[in-house]
Structure 1
Amino acid sequence: MPCVKLARIVLFGACITFAGEAAAGVKVSETTRTYAVAGGTGAALLAAMDRHGPKHGFLTRAIAQTRYSVAWTIEWGETRTACRVKKIDGALDITYTYPSAHGLSPVLERRWTRFLAGVKKHEKAHGDMARQMVGAVEKSVARLSVENDRGCRKARTEVKRRTAAIYAQYEARQIQFDVREHRNGGRVEGLIEALLGR
């Protein structure tokens, strides 16, 4: 069986800007991309995904992929001694990549439709966790105030610490989700077996 799997790429990190004007809250944009596969059997379609799917690591490819990036803009408010987060705005960009197949036989078309629905459900779960993650960051940071912090150095450090901790927590959840879905006898294997007609 080809070594194909579902994948997720995270592109968050150093995108925290400490100034600027924007509408309050987190803005989410979603993009869907497809790549073409062809074949007269489920095995041929899997082989095509293994050849043409989005890259997952250096040598492997995935059936589908969720990529997301996060950027934050924070506006600060200072008093004589304290620093607080006046406004935090986030931008979450999610890109889903799925295979696309046309001209299939009626039997294979039915199998493909069920397979693709399961793949999309898996990838959307990754996107939902990314949305929850940015919501958790926004909630954690929105009311931050640090006393004795002229110049906001301590507050900036605390924002970075909280953000990194939440990212790590949600990355662990993403990994645990993939482990469950990709285990032997798991959901992803079931999708592949159904596409193969087994």
Structure 2
Amino acid sequence: MNSISRLLAVLIASLAAALPAAAQEWQATEKVEHYKVNGIAPMELYQSIGERGPKLSLGRVIAHTTFKLTWQRDYQQQGQACVLATAKPRLVITYTLPKPAQKLPPEVAAKWQTFYDGIVEHEKLHGQFMKDLTQAIQDVSIGLRDENDPGCKKVRAALQAQLKPISDAHGARHSEYDQIEMSPGGAVHQLILAFLNP
């Protein structure tokens, strides 16, 4: 390990030690669900994706990432004050991805694997955005305090006020990412072209 690597390791360890214990205690659960697509040629498979892919408001898509986020929050009354002492998330991310229903010829199978791996990479970044959202919510939650809040109503309202801009930024981040990736020349657009072209 060189000196820069050692320095980075020390910095990471010190940052981790400085975090509140509650901020280190969560991990996302990630699940993969497949939907079957028919065909043994690239165009047949892609047409089946168009017929059977996850349905969103604008139509069907190749793949989709969803999440369910719930919280265990511990509001503590300290005299007249209220503090949000801990906020532990439970984040479940589900990736919905295509899977051929039939065995593919070797050359098509190789092209499919490259296409599939690229789609997984795209969806995994959506998953990372969801982890980032969860961490951002936890960061503004733990330690939130009001000195005159019997019943902890003010702290709850203050938390809700913090969550809207975080949620709005999260939605915009997903939309911008998809727009870039799926526009002509974008990574997903290139994956589709490479898969369909001979």
Query: Residues 48-72 of structure 1, C-alpha deviation per residue, up to 9 Å, x if partnerless?
Result: 0011111112x62111110112111
Query: Residues 67-126 of structure 1, C-alpha deviation per residue, up to 9 Å, x if partnerless?
Result: 112111211111222110121111111111111114111111111000000000000000
**Higher-strand-fraction structure:** 1
Contact (CA 8 Å) 1:111, 1:197: kept in 2 or not? Answer: no
**Secondary structure at the residue paired with 2:128?**
helix
**Secondary structure at the residue paired with 1:26?**
coil
**Higher-helix-fraction structure:** 2
Larger Rg: 2
Matched, 1:176 2:176: yes
**Secondary structure at the residue paired with 2:149?**
coil
State the 1:27 CA deviation. 4.1
| C-alpha separation in 1, matches of 2:182 and 2:150 | 50
What is the percentage of aligned positions where both structures have the same residue? 31
Question: Which ranges of structure 2 fall in alignment gaps of 5 or more residues?
Answer: 1-21
**Secondary structure at the residue paired with 1:72?**
strand
- Structure 1 equivalent of residue 67 of structure 2: 68
| C-alpha separation in 2, matches of 1:111 and 1:105 | 10
- Structure 2 equivalent of residue 97 of structure 1: 96
One-letter identity of the residue aligned with 2:39: G
- Following TM superposition, the consecutive aligned residue runs of length 4 or more in structure 1 with deviations greater than 4 angstroms are none
- Structure 1 equivalent of residue 14 of structure 2: none
- Structure 2 equivalent of residue 3 of structure 1: none
**Secondary structure at the residue paired with 2:90?**
strand
Larger relative contact order, structure 1 or 2 (CA cutoff 8 Å, min sep 6): 1
- Structure 2 equivalent of residue 16 of structure 1: none
TM-score by length of 1: 0.83
Report how many residues are paired: 175
- Structure 2 equivalent of residue 11 of structure 1: none
State the 1:164 CA deviation. 2.2
